[in-house]
Amino acid sequence: MSNSTKYVFVTGGVASSLGKGIIAASLAKLLQARGYSTTIQKLDPYINIDPGTLNPYEHGECYVTDDGAETDLDLGHYERFLNVKTSQANNITTGRIYQSVINKERKGEYLGKTVQVIPHVTDEIKQSIQELGKNGEYDIIITEIGGTVGDIESLPYVEAVRQMLWEFEDDCIVIHLTLIPYLAAAGELKTKPTQHSVKALLELGVQPDVLCCRTEHELELNLRKKIAKFCNVAPEAVIESRDASSIYEVPLLMQEEELDVVVLKKLGLSRKSSPDLDDWKQFLEKLHQPKTEINLGLIGKYVELKDAYKSINEALIHAGATNLCKVNIQWIHSEKLTKKNVASKLDKLDAILVAPGFGSRGITGKLAAVQFARENKIPFLGICLGMQCAVIEFARHVLGWDDAHTVEISPESKRPVISLMEEQKSISDLGGTMRLGAYKCELKPDSNIYEAYNREVINERHRHRFEFNSSYLEDFEKSGMIATGKNPDTGLVEVVEITDHPWFVGVQFHPEYKSTVAKPHPLFVAFVKAAIDAKK
Ligand code: GLN
């Protein structure tokens, strides 16, 4: 059977956290730079319908797409590397697969058959993979299988891959990402775990075509030959993947290793031109040759786990490069911040960012950070809950409303300056029910936000239940906190700024999701610039 779309599967072995997402995104970047339209998909073997209900400690940030899907953070890497938007179809979980199978069963669509993992669940997985290719939009679809080969929960996915390899023959290949550990005592790199991991794949009927080997030391030719011999792959298909100083170096490292060349050859595709990576290299040059630096405090309650703020971290890297500025992020735990110690902890900072979040943990620290930034005229960006904190702090200390709060934390507050959105009032389920995805926002001229975007209408992604309570807007504006961005259809306040401050912006949306290497986000670029200016 022939198929115009080509499929590349990426599996992982030996250990988790080897960076399948980055390898997949880097390969996609190289193929895209050669003129192939490419997309990436992540299959997650957990039973949650999506990561929206997961605590960030479990799985890092929840990444939101334009169409309002709550997805795995790897989709953020895909968008940042490719500058192409992803959607719900780019992230499938076991929960979603089973939900669809069970719904079909209830509708009688299986015509009296016993519904089984094979073929019904595997068919559903195969369909989800092919769904992305159905409009002929993509030449190549890279599908990353979450988890590690050998896990019970990823078995149906590997089986689906086996079936597709059989059905689509030359149009599918498998890249297996493994670890080559270095044993210091022996002074040697060890290939046995990789051999075992390939064996585990073979037991499931899948022969990998390419092995990407994570290693801390050079993989010499004799080792590559050894791995090739034991794992039935060509020596040139044994790719070394060394630790890089930045994830944005990985496409270039993979190019040096000719990962794209091997993949195209295996898929029977021509190399077209050599990859055009000029813009990418320019970005790296700027990243590595900063002319100045700033210290930026990121205040959040998950700062022990940097993955919880992945997109913010990356957006700051993009914005730093644009400004030729090294952004040193100081990760500050909101629970450890109090009114008493806030000055000593934040006074060396050139900029303060209060992060998104849910619930009451760490809220006092966030409010203290906002107050410190406001009173000391330090450039400030508040995102989602961070913006809501800016509103609460202003109400308490400028308007003098001591018990002003968000009803999320204090439902009894007499001054609910942040209240539940009307459409949220009848909702009780937690999964997938927030205000999600892209909404328009109209900006007020002569504001910092307008200056950043340089346009009147923007489109940004949301993930929240609570909103600025517009019944108080007049009081706020009279005292100097202005709504500089509103949803043109509903009037919801999406952006607030303080007039008597050089750069104080709170946004209800999440600008971080849309920052890419090709298009660093204008709001982060302006924020970093404001910090550089303030430092001068
Ligand atoms: N908890 C707040 C809300 O639901 C903010 C959410 C967020 O920061 N993403 O409105």
Q: Does the beta carbon of 521 sit less than 6 angstroms from any atom of ligand 1?
A: no
Q: Does the beta carbon of 486 sit less than 6 angstroms from any atom of ligand 1?
A: no
59: pLDDT strictly greater than 90: no
Best probe residue, ligand 1, of 405, 408, 467 (max atoms within 8 Å of C-beta): 408
- Between the CA of 356 and the centroid of ligand 1 the distance, in Å, is 6
What is the spatial distance between Cα 270 and Cα 486, in angstroms, rounded to a whole number?
49
pLDDT tens-digit map of 214-245: 999 999 999 999 999 999 999 999 999 998 99
User: So what's the pLDDT on residue 432?
Assistant: 85
Which atom of ligand 1 lies nearest, measured to the CA of 356?
A: 8
- pLDDT confidence tier of residue 14, bands split at 50, 70 and 90: confident
**Which residues in 221-237 are b (16+ Cβ under 10 Å) and which e?**
eebbebbbeebebeeeb
Q: Does the beta carbon of 468 sit less than 6 angstroms from any atom of ligand 1?
A: no
Q: Does the beta carbon of 300 sit less than 6 angstroms from any atom of ligand 1?
A: no
Q: Give the residue from 254, 255, 301 showing the smallest Cα distance to 275.
A: 255
User: So what's the pLDDT on residue 271?
Assistant: 84
- Between the CA of 408 and the centroid of ligand 1 the distance, in Å, is 9
Q: Does the beta carbon of 302 sit less than 6 angstroms from any atom of ligand 1?
A: no
- Between the CA of 374 and the centroid of ligand 1 the distance, in Å, is 21
User: So what's the pLDDT on residue 2?
Assistant: 42
Nearest protein Cα to ligand 1, atom 3: 464
What is the spatial distance between Cα 431 and Cα 48, in angstroms, rounded to a whole number?
9
User: So what's the pLDDT on residue 3?
Assistant: 52
Burial of 268 from C-beta contacts in 10 A (0-12 / 13-18 / 19+): exposed
pLDDT tens-digit map of 327-358: 999 999 999 999 999 999 999 999 999 999 99
Residues 514 and 507 sit within 8 Å (Cβ to Cβ): no
- Between the CA of 461 and the centroid of ligand 1 the distance, in Å, is 12
Residues 335 and 362 sit within 8 Å (Cβ to Cβ): yes
Q: Give the residue from 8, 336, 341 showing the smallest Cα distance to 144.
A: 8
pLDDT tens-digit map of 296-325: 999 999 998 889 999 999 999 999 999 999
Question: 213 pairs with which residues across the strands?
Answer: 178, 240
Residues 456 and 427 sit within 8 Å (Cβ to Cβ): no
User: So what's the pLDDT on residue 428?
Assistant: 84
- pLDDT confidence tier of residue 87, bands split at 50, 70 and 90: very high
pLDDT tens-digit map of 393-438: 999 999 999 999 999 999 999 999 999 988 888 888 888 889 999 9
Q: Does the beta carbon of 356 sit less than 6 angstroms from any atom of ligand 1?
A: yes
**Which residues in 410-443 are b (16+ Cβ under 10 Å) and which e?**
beebebbbbbbeeeeeeeeeeeeebbbbbbebbb
Q: Residue 310: CB partners within 8 Å, gap ≥ 6? A: 60, 61, 63, 73, 76
Residues belonging to the active site: 384, 510, 512
